[in-house]
């Protein structure tokens, strides 16, 4: 048994007839992969399951079987009382799950399954393990506790989540246990080549041109050991307005610059709204910076949204937080 909580969670699932599962706002591969994997297991149990998400899922994840079942939903208007159980995945707060900072948790039984260390356990039942790389890895261990079979689609969804949240095994903290789980998922039908093709080798030409703009704007903060790039809304729209392009650029270009500890991208996706992505190059914990500016995430990869400020002021705010924690890191070392 990997987790003592697995038994009680399974009891709640068996009691429920209609179950709701979420993807969080700005859904990434772990959010979508874990939701589809949970859907598949619950469906095999004979449950009536729905998946809701505050935003559209990225195009590069729509190759996954049954991804069309994930419905963009306004959580403020949604009737949660139609369901017996709400399984909230990969969401350190209900604001992350719902897209609303002030929205109250629905008055139904909730199960929280997550790997973010900032998750304090806000549900009826909570299983939070910050030692695993992803919520998808967490679900693999829970499903093993339940003794359920994982078909090809479930394995593929879990592998998508693990690959995404580990940076294809590049992030610090990926150990042999994670790699063994990936091997088991592949041995049980997950098509690794199909996943890599769709997630990492199917980029629109306009997106590549936008990456060029991000790199053109890249600067190195020589004193504080990080690189950063900021792109205005005008330039963002000129290159097609692909919100997902920022995450890919952050993963590829910003953790690789020699003699730096981390990298950061700031994109003004709308006037007054700046989307921020941070990536660590080594052991530096970028989630500290993300938390400082109202976001969150992992030590190796985090994000935030800065709203209500002019573009230049938002960039100054983010860089101020970066320099604060970069200085602390320099003093420790």
Residues 177 and 259 in one domain: no
Residues 43 and 191 in one domain: yes
Instruction: Please calculate the CA angle 242-247-251 and round it to the nearest 5 degrees.
Output: 140
For residue 214, give its domain range. 205-332
CATH number at 62 reads 3.90.1640.10
Residues 97 and 74 in one domain: yes
Average pLDDT over residues 180-202: 97
Residue where a domain terminates, one of 200, 233, 249: 200
Residue where a domain terminates, one of 172, 200, 228: 200
> What digits encode the pLDDT tens for the residues 65-95?
999 999 999 999 999 999 999 999 999 999 9
> What digits encode the pLDDT tens for the residues 227-243?
999 999 999 999 888 87
Residues 222 and 163 in one domain: no
CATH number at 322 reads 3.10.310.30
> What digits encode the pLDDT tens for the residues 248-301?
899 889 889 999 999 999 999 999 999 999 999 988 999 999 999 999 888 999
Residues 181 and 289 in one domain: no
pTM for this model (two decimals): 0.89
Residues 92 and 223 in one domain: no
Residue where a domain terminates, one of 160, 175, 200: 200
Residues 146 and 175 in one domain: yes
312 φ, ψ (degrees, to nearest 5): -60, -40
Residues 55 and 143 in one domain: yes
As separate numbers, helices (DSSP H) first and strands (DSSP E) second, the chain gives: 12, 12
Structural domains of the chain, count: 2
Q: pLDDT above 70 covers what percent of the chain?
A: 99
Q: What is the mean pLDDT of the chain?
A: 94
Residues 227 and 190 in one domain: no
Residues 213 and 65 in one domain: no
Rounded CA-CA distance 332/14 in Å is 50
Rounded CA-CA distance 264/259 in Å is 15
> What digits encode the pLDDT tens for the residues 306-328?
999 999 999 999 999 999 999 88
Average pLDDT over residues 194-208: 93
Using the predicted structure, report yes or no on whether residue 333 has a pLDDT greater than 60: no
Secondary structure of residue 249 in the 3-state scheme = helix
Of the candidates 78, 165, 65, 179, which has an alpha carbon nearest to the alpha carbon of residue 115? 165
């Amino acid at each position: 048994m990997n987790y003592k909580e697995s038994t009680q969670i399974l009891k709640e699932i068996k009691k429920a007839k209609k179950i709701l599962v979420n993807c969080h706002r700005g859904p990434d591969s772990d959010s979508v992969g874990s939701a589809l994997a949970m859907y598949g297991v619950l469906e095999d149990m004979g449950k009536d399951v729905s998946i809701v998400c505050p935003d559209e899922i990225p195009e590069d994840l729509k190759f996954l079987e049954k991804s069309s079942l994930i419905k963009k939903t306004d959580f403020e208007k949604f009737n949660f009382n139609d369901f017996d159980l709400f399984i909230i995945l990969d969401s350190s707060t209900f604001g992350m799950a719902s897209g609303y900072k002030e929205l109250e948790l629905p008055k139904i039984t909730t199960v929280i399954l997550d790997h973010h260390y900032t998750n304090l356990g806000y549900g009826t039942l909570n299983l939070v393990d910050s030692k695993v790389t992803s919520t998808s890895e967490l679900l693999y261990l829970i499903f093993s506790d339940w003794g359920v079979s994982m078909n090809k689609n479930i394995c593929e969804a879990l592998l998508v989540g693990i690959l995404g949240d580990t940076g294809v095994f590049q992030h610090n903290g990926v150990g042999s246990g994670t790699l063994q789980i990936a091997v088991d998922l592949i041995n049980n039908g997950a098509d690794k080549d199909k996943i890599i093709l769709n997630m990492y080798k199917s980029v629109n030409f306009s997106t590549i041109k936008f990456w060029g703009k991000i790199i053109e704007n890249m600067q190195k903060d020589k004193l504080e050991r990080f690189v950063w790039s900021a792109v205005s809304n005008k330039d963002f729209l000129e290159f097609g307005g692909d919100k997902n392009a920022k995450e890919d650029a952050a993963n590829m270009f910003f953790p690789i610059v020699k003699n730096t500890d981390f990298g950061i991208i700031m994109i003004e996706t709308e006037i007054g709204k700046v989307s921020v992505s941070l990536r660590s190059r080594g052991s530096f914990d970028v989630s500290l910076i993300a938390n400082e500016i109202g976001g969150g995430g992992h030590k190796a990869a985090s994000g935030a949204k800065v709203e209500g400020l002019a573009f230049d002021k938002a960039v100054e705010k983010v860089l101020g937080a970066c320099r604060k924690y970069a200085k602390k890191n320099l003093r420790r070392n």
